[in-house]
Amino acid sequence: MEKLTQRERDCLVAILSVNSEFPIRLSEIANKLSVRSPTALNVIKRLSEKNLIKDKGGMIIVTKEGKKVYKEIIEAHRCFEALLTESGISLDEACKQVRKFDYLIDPNTASKVLSHIGNPKLSKHGRKVIVN
């Protein structure tokens, strides 16, 4: 799979972070990313070309591959967030810094780091580190 850009990462996370039984609309994505709809549409098109989402009449649906990539991003995020907070960095700053690179981390690397820091079950935010 092609590498994601940070904006693509933010978009994929925004889509799957919505707690709704309905697919998210383009306008909601634009709001979550703090961008205009044409910019959000460009990101959606790139994610669609990478087979991470499908646009069905304006309703954005995440593919199986998209869910896998999301899971890898979130697990890497929570792993490195834990590492940074254990190193004395505040939770808010750790979260902010990790967002800059969590989408670039290989799942095997994240797994090794998790093992090194004792395989925490919950992130400092109280969320599961390993996403089901």
Q: Where are the domains of the chain?
A: 6-65, 68-114
At the top level of CATH, which class does the domain 6-65 belong to? Answer: mainly alpha
Residue pLDDT, tens place only, 13-34: 999 887 666 778 888 899 999 9
Residue 48's nearest CA partner among 80, 6, 11, 87 is 11
Q: Is the pTM of this model over 0.85?
A: yes
Residue 76's nearest CA partner among 97, 98, 56 is 98
pLDDT of residue 64: 94
